Each structure stands twice: as C-alpha cells, then as structure tokens.
Amino acid sequence: MLFSENFKIAIRALRANKMRSVLTMLGIVIGVATVVALLSIGKGATASITSSIQSNGSNLLTVSPGKQQSGPAGAGGVQQASYLYYSDYQLLQRSLTNNVAAIVPSYQSSYLVNYGDESFTVSVKGVTEDYQETNSYDVALGRFISDGDNKSESLVAVLGSQTAEDLFGGLNPVGKTISVKGVKFEVVGVLASKGSSGFISADDAVFIPLDAGYSKLFGSTATYNDKKIVNSISVSVVTTEAMDTVSAQIEFLIRRAHKLTSSDELDFNVLSQSDLLSTLTTVTQTLTVFLGAIAGISLLVGGIGIMNIMLVSVTERTKEIGLRKAVGATKNQILTQFLIETMTLSVLGGIIGILFGIGMAALVTLSGALTAVITADSILLAFTFSLAIGVFFGLYPAYRAANLHPMVALRYE
C-alpha cells in the first residue's frame, strides 16, 4: 500500500475522533512550544549579556571582593564575605603607571529616589570621572561627573536613561533637583541608553561623585574597620597584550596590601571581560539546557498519552484489522498504517507547538525584558524530538496491531 493511501486512512481515523485527537496532541504542543520558547529566551539572554559585556571593550579588568574562610575562631568555618577598600584603589593608582589608561573605583547601593510625586528605588553608584569612558557610556544631555565634582564633594547626579524617564517623563531633567535618601542632588546629565543585560538594565541607575557619596549618603554601610570600601575597581588596559601583565601586577599589589602569603587563598577576584563573558555564557547555557530538559518532560508525557490513545485505537479497531489481514494486508502494512497515524499526531502537534513557541518568544520580546532569539536549530531540535517521540511511543501499539491473528481479530467483539 502506498504511503499516500496510509496517510489518508490515518487522517480519516483521526478526524473520526476529533476531540480525542486534539487532546492527544496537546501534550506534544505544550512540550514543543515550551522547548522553542525557552531555548529562544536562553539564547536571547546569552546574546544580550554578550553584547553588554563587549560594549565595555575587551581591555577591561575588574577587581571585586572574593570570599575567604573564617579561621578557627569563626563560626564553624562559614564563608565570610571579604572587602575591597578605597585604599586598594589608591594603591593601584600610585603603582600602575605603565600599560594602564584608567583606574576607576565604584561603590553602589539601592536607595529611594524622589522627584515631586514620583519615587523609585534604584541603584545609586558613587564613581569618578573616568567611569563614563571606561564603561563606554555616552552622555545624551548635560555632562558626566567631573574630577572637580569629586574634589569638592559636589551634590550633583547623572541619571541613567530609564531613571530619567521614570522620574521626569519627557521633561529635560538637567538643572532639576532630586532627593536620594533625603539628600538633595542637582541633575547635571543624562546618559544614553545601553539597554538591558539579561533581566538587569544598565539604564536604571543614578551616578554621583564617589567622595560625596562617602561623606553625605552612604554612611556606615560603606565602611569596614573604619576603612572606606568599594564594590569594584575597573582597570582599563592600553593593549590586549598587556592584560596578563597588568592582572598579575594587580594580584601582587592587593595580595600584599591584604597581608596574604603566597599560600593564602585570594580574598578578591581579578576578571577580564573575556573571563566574565565565558563565565556568564556558561551559566546561561547551562540554565537554558536545564530548562529545555524540563520542557522535554512535557514531550515525554505527550508521547505516553499518544501511546495510550493508540492502544485504545487498536482495541477499538480490532475487527477492522482482522478484515484487512483477511483480504491480504501484511504485518508491515498494518505496522506502517498505525505508525503513520502516530507520526501524524506528533508532526501536527509539533507544528502547532512551534507556532505557539514562536508566539511566546515574541511576547517576551514585546515585553521589553529581553530580545528572544529564535533560531532554526532550536525549531529543528523541537520538531525532530516530537517526531522521535511519535515513532518511539507509536511502535508498541503498531507492533501489537500488526501481530493480531486474523481469526482472533474477526471474532473480537
């Protein structure tokens, strides 16, 4: 029997029980849609993070606090957070005279920011003038923090594009006064949008002079053992070839400043942009695979549902199978017919699921959280897996139908 004839028989059998066929496909539809949507969202998050990191340039080293084990007097060896100090920045500023374009400290914390009746909790970052160039920000309105602002501890602020939109709508905020934790700051600039990194927006922030932050805003939260702390120190290296040399110099200087011996574990991290990109990409890819595997469970459930319904169909059509065998149908023809019915359910469910998955990814993109990236390989993977599910779970019902004895089948009631 030709494939086209088997396909027509399969379609007639499925149309005879429309509701049952739709419900049987539902598991495949949900599974495929989830796989396509999650893979697209995962790839979008990876692309967004990659773009955000690469926008800062490839010659950037970031020094951040690490972790250190507490000693015998500590709480049972619990991991204790370490600190990076403003004095570490000053040490690097004095010592790194070659191959370095800029060294930028920053301290940040979240505060309630007010203007008129509008108030939002945003990240407030204390920075120096080189922060803008080092992190590749463009100024859309006004200016950025200057060296004079830090020296005079001026109460001025630069807004990220999203914060400016939230507080002022379409108005020009330059020259206006905002309140941060009750402290008044004059807005002197607005940064151009850099977009989001995954679900974190680089535009939702307020930038102030670091020295003004220490003296007027951050308070005791920015000190430890009477020493000012920073969240990170960014070091812009002149050439890519000098990255390893500068990284080794930073490690040596801060290790000595923190009184660490050569055998002690570092209580800070020195990461290049490529290191950071590799780490974050690995995390997002692992998360994407994990979520895709969870979505695959829906496909397995859908496959079990197909097998169950096909077994019911074999039982209902036992006499039909007996008649076909009595007039000369072979085992292979019966096997092929039922496999085609199962594969038809899987393929139709896969196509509908792909369309739903693309729609879900499009909704995520429209929400503005991130741009989902729909790729041909994710669609092909989902479709191939749905087809494989159909073949795998359809084999047993088809085999059972093909091996029915004609006389037993004809006598079946």
Contact 112, 121 (CB under 8 A): yes
Pairing of strands 268-272, 67-69: unpaired
Question: Which token pair is 293?
Answer: 């595997």
64: closest CA among 214, 279, 283?
Answer: 279
76 half-sphere exposure, CB direction, 13 A CA radius: 0
User: What pLDDT sits at residue 71?
Assistant: 46
Contact 345, 390 (CB under 8 A): yes
Instruction: Kindly report the pTM of this predicted structure.
Output: 0.61
Residue partners of 184: CB distance under 8 A and separation at least 6? 155, 177, 178
User: What pLDDT sits at residue 405?
Assistant: 65
The number of beta carbons lying within 10 Å of the beta carbon of residue 177 is 13
Written as tens digits, the pLDDT of the chain (413 aa) is 556 666 776 677 677 777 777 877 888 888 888 888 888 888 887 777 766 665 655 688 889 998 644 444 444 444 445 889 999 999 999 999 888 989 999 999 999 999 988 899 999 999 999 998 888 889 999 999 999 999 999 999 999 999 999 999 888 999 999 999 999 999 999 999 876 554 456 788 999 999 999 999 998 899 988 899 999 999 988 887 888 899 999 999 999 999 888 788 888 888 887 777 677 777 777 877 787 777 777 777 777 877 887 777 777 777 777 777 777 777 777 777 778 878 888 888 888 989 998 998 888 888 776 788 888 887 888 888 888 877 888 788 777 777 776 666 566 55
- Helix ranges restricted to H, 177-272: 210-212, 243-257
The number of beta carbons lying within 10 Å of the beta carbon of residue 156 is 21
Pairing of strands 177-180, 100-115: antiparallel
The amino acid at residue 93 is: Q
User: What pLDDT sits at residue 193?
Assistant: 87
User: What pLDDT sits at residue 74?
Assistant: 42
| Extents of the domains making up the chain | 3-52+279-411, 67-266
